[in-house]
């Protein structure tokens, strides 16, 4: 096995496609090298070494040392310096890089190779002693922290003490002599913490750092991040060792980070920040206020520091060329890191940039228009679930808002919630169902779980590329970053600004699209669905095969779903129409009647209301298919709870209270989910289904008369397990259909079908399809009945099942394709065999879950049906599944 891959001098042994082996960073360093971009030479130790390391008791493969030695010699040859040399020392960085980018998870060590001897050589060679000792103190601190595990604050104290004793404020004011004194202190810190001196041998430093990178793959932060992002531990990380270039050699040096397009809005404009005379992550660490790359960026952010476009115009021009070259090559927005050493540009990283959902949409649509990617690629670029964020509320412009501060619009969307100051508190309150806004001076990887739990994140320090901003955008949380006017006092638990004080637990609203921070809860409104969104959805529609319907019974839901592009109703749950105040008493009267005659009296009261419901739905759906499920839930769900309610029902029915109470007890069931419900109700009380069928057909006739639109309702019988049940009930429906047709003088068109939600029904699909004209997979119940797990009670043990890996996902969220899916597949095949043109759809929660939608495409269903807000997600997922 080859364990080490070199890059540099305009070529490389690796390529971008080799991410699995080289990690994202290493693969892209190789790719940039191959593209002829100015990349300092280096080499990558593969992820396979990491795997080997953990599989073999933290030992390296035998040949690794030889390979590393040879690759290091190659760097030495290219740059003409020697690792550990007293006069002309090569310094390197040791950088981690997993397959998927894990921002801030793994620590990088810079300036490795410095010791008491080489630092003097570096000082002589560069003619800049200050630079050399500044680099050395950075190295000791980084190495001390990352590799030797000495806490940061020990080093910070030494520096603070020195500054105070010598009346110095800024790091830039420290001279070479100052840094030498600080270095002495740093070395004492190490000696004290470890009982041995700071390692002087560059080889020992190198292997220590490599070991630390591999070790960090299993640190708590990395493990949390992997959990949140579904990254398997087996992937491992690579280690990159690269010749150092220096952004801290003076005023013609700089370091920076940039996005090739705006990661927040998606605007096709170069967006980035840089710091003059700085090294490494100084830009994102918030130590000094970073400057903008472009004049436009500077103006937009109200900065008065010069843009790179002004201060280093030639370097900026080169950087902008690199930007265009990278975009053309990768055909995606890139997130880049660079350093300028004495006016020469070096590229240190590129990767596909994290972006907000609105930015992802704009970038995908723009790139299709620019001809950079195809429509299909554009469709595949958008994570269907992320559309959720585009459909999310924004602040109502008419709402009054009391703005107390303004920060950077770091991640869009408006969010209100209680102020909390720690990740722990955020997690705790969110667990209790509260909305919280996590307020921090700045965030660090330790806060990730709290950021995840919060509705929004507010920081008082840091820029658009700060940890809070990057992570919030990735998670889709709204975030206002760097609201510098706010003072957070963790000890007293307050945020103050001018004369306003906000305490922990007070409600605030943040708008991650504008950066505004407001007191109290501010009204929100739904977003516009035109422009780029409509364009992308149009492309998706053109590429998908499956139709997308919605689950809706109220006119509001039906209208919302139409607006989101629903092509009909896949599930109208008639029982939801029974709870409305104007009819619940009649419904209860019907249920509590103990004779057919009594039930018919009550049903006659409900019928006109039910008809009106359907008229309204049919009108909204304008001839699109509407599947109506006849009464499904156990009757006891409608029973009155209190004596007062029972008395009301008794009065309406003209009987006495004791009779109602008695009947109510009679209806009680031990296991209602498997009790007297679904078509079993229709078998016992056919008059209920008869009334519902009549209401449906009469509504269809009425709508035809009024609008000329032919509605073909799909009447769906729930919880069928045998063909016989369906036969009996279809007869009832057909009889009513005949009667309504005769009365109207026009044949009413309709279909009769069934939900497949019992394993028996799935297995018996061939027989059932003799009667059923369509199947709709009710995967909520089908999951319950297949697993024998009650959805309402699963909460107490499902987490254990996920933790122990018995179930990878919650089967009520993501379809269990192995088991439940197999039943769906069997039913689809057997149903089609009997009736080749049988309509097949799915109407469980899964209809809006992207991975379940992919499964439906594979099985060849005709449509998926989901809640209104998920319709766009399902449309996109269906397109992606078909591509
Ligand atoms: P992360 O994965 O956290 O982004 P990196 O490995 O990219 O860590 O290192 C962080 C920063 O360190 C880089 O953005 C860059 O500024 C600096 N850096 C890394 N390697 C070098 C190098 N060879 N020369 C100069 N700076 C470097
Ligand atoms: Mg980086
Ligand atoms: Mg059901």
Which ligand is in closest contact with the Cα of 571? 3
Q: At what angle do helices 64-79 and 202-216 cross, to 10 degrees?
A: 120
Give residue 670 CA to ligand 3 midpoint distance, Å: 18
Q: What per-residue confidence (pLDDT) applies to 195?
A: 96
pLDDT at 106: 62
**DSSP states of 557-600 as a string?**
HHHHHHHTT--SEEEEEGGGGG-STTTHHHHHHHHH--SHHHHH
Residue nearest to atom 12 of ligand 1 (CA): 280
pLDDT band of residue 313 (cuts 50, 70, 90) is very high
Q: Tell me which of 154, 392, 452, 467 is the catalytic residue.
A: 467
Q: Which atom of ligand 1 is nearest to the CA of 279?
A: 16
Instruction: Say if CB 466 and CB 284 are below 8 A apart.
Output: yes
Task: Tell me the mean pLDDT in the region 856-870.
Answer: 93
CB contact at 8 A, 345 and 319 = yes
Name the residue of 94, 105, 108, 272 whose CB sits within 8 Å of the most ligand 1 atoms, as the mutation to test its pocket: 108
As a whole number of angstroms, the distance between CA 768 and CA 615 comes to: 30
508 CA distance to ligand 3 middle (Å):
41
573, pLDDT greater than 80: yes
Beta bridge partners of 717: 754
Q: Which helix (H) or strand (E) holds 263?
A: none
Averaged pLDDT for residues 108-124: 96
Question: Minimal CA–CA distance to 403: which of 559, 522, 226, 299?
Answer: 522
pLDDT at 474: 62
ipTM above 0.90, yes or no: yes
Instruction: Give the pLDDT confidence score for residue 554 in this predicted structure.
Output: 85
Show the DSSP H helices in 301-422 as ranges: 308-311, 313-330, 357-369, 375-381, 387-390
pLDDT of 585 above 90: no
CA of 281, nearest ligand number = 1
Which residue has the CA at smallest separation from atom 11 of ligand 1? Answer: 280
Residue nearest to atom 3 of ligand 1 (CA): 104
Pick 833 or 433 by higher pLDDT.
833
Q: Reply yes or no on whether the pLDDT at 840 is more than 90.
A: yes
Domain 392-525 class?
alpha beta
Q: Specify the residue with its C-alpha closest to ligand 1, atom 6.
A: 95
Considering only CA atoms, which of 634, 715, 611 is closest in space to residue 681?
634
Q: Is the pLDDT of residue 104 over 60?
A: no
Alpha helices in 127-201 (DSSP H): 129-146, 152-165, 176-194
Q: What is the pTM of this model?
A: 0.81
H helix intervals, 271-372: 282-285, 295-300, 308-311, 313-330, 357-369
71, 115, 336, 109: which is closest to 244 by C-alpha? 109
pLDDT on residue 291: 93
What is the overall mean pLDDT for the chain? Answer: 92
The CATH number of domain 4-243, selected from 3.30.420.40, 3.30.1490.20, 3.40.50.300, 2.170.120.40: 3.30.1490.20
CA of residue 106 to ligand 2 center, whole Å: 10
124-147 burial: b if 16+ Cβ within 10 Å, else e: eebebbbbbbbbbbbbbbbbbbbb
- Out of 98, 258, 349, give the residue to mutate to test ligand 1, the one with the largest number of ligand atoms within 8 Å of its CB: 349
**Ligand 1, closest atom to CA 92?**
23
The confidence score (pLDDT) of residue 670 equals 87
Name the pairing type of β-strands 516-519 and 344-352: unpaired
What pLDDT sits at residue 838? 97
* Residue with more model confidence, 795 or 29: 29
Ligand approaching nearest to the C-alpha of 247: 1
Alpha helix locations (H) across 745-797?
759-763, 765-771, 779-787
- What is the mean pLDDT of the segment spanning 647-657? 85
Tell me how far the alpha carbon of residue 683 lies from the centroid of ligand 1, in angstroms. Answer: 72
Is the domain spanning 254-355 CATH 1.10.3720.10? The answer is no
16-20: average pLDDT: 96
**Closest by CA position to 238, among listed 43, 67, 97:** 97
Which atom from ligand 1 is nearest to the alpha carbon of 97?
2
Note the pLDDT of residue 851.
Answer: 92
pLDDT at residue 535, as a whole number: 95
Please say if the pLDDT value at position 630 is more than 90. Answer: yes
Per annotation, catalytic residue among 843, 846, 856, 866: 843
Q: What is the mean pLDDT of residues 832-844?
A: 96
- Three-point CA angle 377, 383, 388, nearest 5°: 135
Q: Could you count the other beta carbons within 10 Å of the beta carbon of residue 796?
A: 7
For residue 774, pLDDT over 90 is answered with: yes
Confidence check: pLDDT of 863 > 70: yes
Residue 348 CA to ligand 1 center (angstroms) comes to: 6
CATH 3.20.20.60 fits 544-882, yes or no: yes
Angle (CA) 296 298 300, round 5° = 65
Mean pLDDT value of segment 218-225: 84
If one compares 393 and 674, the residue with the highest pLDDT of the two is 674
Stretch 554-573: mean pLDDT? 92
How many beta carbons lie within 10 A of that of residue 615, not counting itself? 19
Cβ(852)–Cβ(824) under 8 Å? Answer: no
Q: Which of 612, 768, 574, 781 is nearest to 689 (CA)?
A: 574
pLDDT: which is higher, 79 or 358: 79
Tell the residue nearest (CA) to atom 8 of ligand 1: 108
Ligand nearest to the CA of 780: 3
- Rounded-to-integer distance, Cα 161 and Cα 155, Å: 10
d(CA 861, CA 426): 42
Instruction: Give the number of the atom of ligand 1 that is nearest the alpha carbon of residue 102.
Output: 2
Which ligand is nearest the CA of 102, by number? 1
User: Residue 496's beta-bridge partner residues?
Assistant: 487, 501
Type and span of the H or E element at 772: none
Mutate to test the pocket of ligand 1, among 39, 245, 348, 444 (most ligand atoms within 8 A of CB): 348
Report the pLDDT value the prediction gives residue 449, as an integer from 0 to 100: 83
pLDDT surpasses 80 at 101: no
Q: Rounded to the nearest whole angstrom, what is the distance from the C-alpha of residue 125 to the centroid of ligand 1?
A: 23
pLDDT digits over 703-714, tens only? 999 999 999 999
- Using alpha carbons only, what angle is made at residue 198 by residues 195 and 204, rounded to the nearest 5 degrees? 115
CA of 719 to the centre of ligand 3 (A): 6
The alpha carbon dihedral of 225, 227, 228, 234 has a sign of positive
> What's the half-sphere exposure (Cβ side, CA atoms, 13 Å) at 497?
16
Q: In the predicted model, is pLDDT for residue 325 greater than 70?
A: yes
Q: What is the model's pLDDT at position 635?
A: 83
| pLDDT greater than 80 at residue 378 | yes
The residue to mutate among 335, 337, 340, having the most atoms of ligand 1 within 8 angstroms of its beta carbon, is 337
Question: What's the confidence (pLDDT) of residue 105?
Answer: 55
Task: Map out the domains of the chain as residue ranges.
Answer: 4-243, 254-355, 392-525, 544-882
- Quick check: 853 pLDDT over 90? yes
Give the pLDDT band (50/70/90) at residue 640.
Answer: confident
pLDDT (0 to 100) of residue 326: 98
Q: Which helix (H) or strand (E) holds 464?
A: none
Active site residue 153: no
Cβ atoms 185, 158 nearer than 8 A: yes
467 is catalytic: yes
Distance of CA 569 to the CA centre of its chain: 28
Confidence at residue 820, expressed as pLDDT on a 0 to 100 scale:
96
How sure is the predictor about 790, in pLDDT bands with cuts at 50, 70 and 90? confident
Q: What percent of the chain has pLDDT over 70?
A: 98
Q: Write the pLDDT tens digit of every residue in 120-174.
A: 999 999 999 999 999 999 999 999 998 999 998 999 999 999 999 999 988 889 9
Confidence bin at 110 (pLDDT 50/70/90):
very high
Residues listed for the chain: 883
Please report the atom of ligand 1 found closest to the CA of residue 101.
Answer: 2
Residues with CB under 6 A from ligand 1: 40, 93, 95, 104, 108, 110, 242-245, 255, 280-281, 337, 339, 348-349
Q: Is 90 exceeded by the pLDDT of residue 577?
A: no
């Amino acid at each position: 096995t080859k364990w080490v891959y070199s890059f540099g001098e305009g070529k490389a042994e690796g390529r971008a496609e080799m991410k699995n082996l080289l990690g994202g960073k290493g693969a892209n360093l190789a790719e940039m090298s191959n593209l002829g971009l100015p990349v300092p030479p280096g080499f990558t130790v593969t992820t396979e070494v990491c795997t080997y390391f953990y599989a073999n008791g933290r030992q390296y493969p035998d040949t690794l040392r030889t390979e590393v030695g040879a690759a290091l010699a190659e760097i030495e040859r290219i740059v003409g310096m020697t690792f550990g040399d007293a006069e002309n020392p090569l310094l390197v960085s040791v950088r981690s890089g997993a397959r998927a980018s894990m921002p801030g998870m793994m620590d990088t060590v810079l300036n490795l190779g410095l010791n008491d001897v080489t630092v003097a050589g570096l000082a002589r060679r560069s003619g800049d002693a200050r630079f050399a000792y500044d680099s050395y103190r950075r190295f000791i601190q980084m190495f001390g922290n990352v590799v030797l595990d000495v806490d940061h604050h020990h080093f910070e104290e030494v520096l603070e003490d020195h500054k105070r004793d010598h009346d110095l404020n800024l790091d830039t004011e420290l001279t070479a002599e100052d840094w030498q004194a600080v270095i002495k202190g740093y070395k004492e810190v190490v000696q004290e913490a470890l009982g041995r001196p700071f390692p002087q041998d560059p080889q020992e430093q190198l292997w220590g750092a490599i070991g630390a990178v591999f070790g960090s793959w299993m640190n708590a932060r990395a493990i949390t991040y992997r959990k949140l992002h579904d990254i398997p531990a087996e992937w491992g990380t690579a280690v990159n060792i690269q010749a150092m270039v220096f952004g801290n050699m003076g005023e013609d040096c700089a370091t920076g980070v940039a996005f090739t397009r705006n990661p927040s809005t998606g605007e096709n404009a170069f967006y980035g920040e840089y710091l003059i005379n700085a090294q490494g992550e100084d830009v994102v660490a918030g130590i000094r206020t970073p400057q903008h790359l472009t004049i436009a960026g500077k103006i937009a952010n109200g900065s008065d520091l010069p843009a790179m476009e002004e201060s280093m115009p030639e370097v900026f021009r080169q950087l902008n060329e690199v930007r265009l070259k990278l975009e053309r090559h990768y055909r995606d927005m890139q997130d880049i890191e660079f350093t300028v050493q004495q006016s020469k540009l070096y590229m240190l990283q590129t990767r596909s940039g994290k972006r907000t959902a609105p930015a992802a949409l704009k970038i995908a649509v723009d790139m299709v228009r620019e001809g950079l990617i195809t429509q299909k690629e554009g469709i595949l670029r958008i994570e269907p679930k992320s559309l959720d964020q585009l459909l999310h509320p924004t602040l109502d412009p008419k709402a009054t808002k009391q703005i107390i501060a303004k920060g950077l619009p770091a991640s869009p969307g408006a969010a209100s919630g209680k102020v909390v100051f720690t990740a722990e508190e955020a997690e705790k309150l969110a667990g209790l169902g509260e909305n919280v806004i996590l307020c921090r001076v700045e965030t660090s990887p330790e806060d990730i779980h709290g950021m995840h739990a919060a509705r929004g994140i507010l920081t008082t320090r840091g820029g658009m590329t700060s940890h809070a901003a990057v992570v919030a955008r990735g998670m889709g949380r709204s975030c206002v970053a760097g609201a510098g006017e706010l003072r957070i006092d963790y000890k007293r638990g307050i945020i103050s600004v001018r004369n306003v004080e906000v305490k922990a637990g007070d409600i605030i609203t943040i708008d991650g699209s504008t950066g505004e921070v407001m007191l109290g809860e501010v009204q929100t409104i739904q977003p516009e669905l035109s422009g780029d969104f409509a364009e992308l959805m149009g492309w998706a529609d053109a590429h998908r095969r499956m139709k997308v319907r919605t689950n809706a019974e109220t006119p509001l839901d039906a209208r919302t779903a139409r607006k989101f592009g629903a092509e009909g109703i896949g599930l109208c749950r008639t029982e939801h129409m029974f709870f409305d105040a104007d009819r619940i008493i009649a419904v209860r009267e019907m249920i509590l009647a103990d004779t057919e005659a009594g039930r018919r009296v009550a049903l006659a009261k409900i019928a006109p209301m039910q008809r009106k419901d359907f008229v309204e739905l049919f009108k909204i759906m304008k001839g699109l298919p509407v599947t109506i499920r006849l009464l499904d839930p156990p009757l006891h769900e409608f029973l009155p709870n209190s004596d007062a309610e029972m008395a009301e029902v008794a009065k309406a029915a003209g009987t006495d209270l004791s009779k109602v109470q008695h009947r109510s007890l009679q209806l009680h069931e031990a296991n209602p989910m498997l009790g007297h419900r679904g078509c079993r109700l229709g078998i016992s009380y056919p008059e209920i289904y008869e009334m519902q069928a009549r209401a449906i057909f009469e509504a269809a006739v009425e709508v035809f008369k009024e609008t000329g639109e032919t509605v073909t309702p799909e009447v769906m019988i729930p919880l069928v397990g045998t063909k016989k049940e369906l036969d009996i009930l279809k007869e009832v429906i057909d009889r009513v259909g005949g009667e309504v047709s005769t009365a109207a003088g026009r044949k009413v068109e309709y279909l009769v079908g069934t939900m497949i939600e019992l394993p028996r029904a799935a297995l018996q699909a061939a027989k059932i399809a003799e009667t059923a004209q369509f199947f709709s997979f009710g995967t909520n119940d089908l999951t319950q009945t297949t697993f024998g797990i009650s959805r309402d009670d699963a909460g107490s043990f499902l987490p254990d099942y996920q933790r122990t890996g018995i179930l990878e996902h919650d089967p009520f969220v993501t379809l269990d394709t192995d088991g439940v899916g197999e039943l769906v597949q069997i039913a689809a095949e057997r149903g089609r065999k009997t009736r080749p043109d049988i309509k097949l759809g799915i109407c469980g929660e899964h209809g809006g879950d992207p991975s379940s939608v992919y499964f439906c495409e594979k099985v060849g269903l005709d449509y998926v049906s989901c809640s209104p807000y998920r319709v766009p997600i399902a449309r996109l997922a269906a397109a992606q599944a078909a591509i």
